[in-house]
Amino acid sequence: MATKTLKLSIAATLLMVVSPGSLAQAPTTATHVPRSEIMTVFENLGNTIDQQVRVVDIGDDINVAVGVLRRVNTRTEGEEVNAILHHRVTEVYYVLSGSGILVTGGVATGNVEFPADNISVRELIGPSGSRTVTNGQEQAISAGDVVVIPAGVPHGFRHIQEQITYLSIRVDPDQTLPTGYAHPSLED
C-alpha cells in the first residue's frame, strides 16, 4: 500500500509540473542526476542546510532544480513557527532520512523579503521571504514521504528530533534559478 501511495504522489506531482503546452516543446533528452552526485553535494554541505545539485531547463522557459537539504534539532514552542515562502518556485520534498513536524500555510505575519543578490535567492529558491506563521497545518513527515509545497505557501519545521535529510525538487516556471547550474563540487 505504501508503494502505491508513493507512486500516486509522484504521478500527481508530475501532472502538476508538466502542462500540455510544455510537452510540445520539451527537450528530447533526459537529465540523469545520479546518487553519486547527490551524495557528493551532501558531503559538501558543510555548515549550510541547503545546496543545489543541478538546475535543468525542461523547455517552455521552465527550470527544474534538484537540491539536497539537511536540518538538525529544532523545536519551536508556542503557536508561532518561523517559515519561508517562495514567491515563484514550487518545492517537492522527498524525505531520505529522519523525521520532523512540518508546518505549512496558516496566517503569515512579519514579512521580511530576502535581498535579490542573496546567494540562496540566486541559486536555490528564487525570490522568497521569511514569515512568522500561526494556525498552519502540522504534518509529521519521515523517510519515504513526499510533500508538495506550491509557490506562495509558507512552510517551516516546528520540530526535528535529531535531523531530517531530504531532496527538494524545485519547479521554477520563470527560470529565476541559473539554468544549467551544477554544484561546484561536481566540476571534476
- The stretches in the chain having pLDDT less than 70 are 1-26, 188
CA-nearest of 135, 147, 131 to 69 is: 147
pLDDT in tens, 157-166: 999 989 999 9
Q: What is the pTM of this model?
A: 0.84
Provide the domain count of the chain. 1
In the block, residue with C-alpha cell 508530475: 14
Compute the distance between CA of residue 58 and CA of residue 15 in angstroms, rounded to an integer: 14
DSSP letters along 31-75, please? ----HHHHHHHHHT-TT-SEEEEEEEE-STT-EEEEEEEEEEEEE
What CATH number should be reported for the domain holding residue 94? Answer: 2.60.120.10
**What pLDDT does residue 27 have?**
81
pLDDT tens by residue, 56-71: 999 999 999 999 999 9
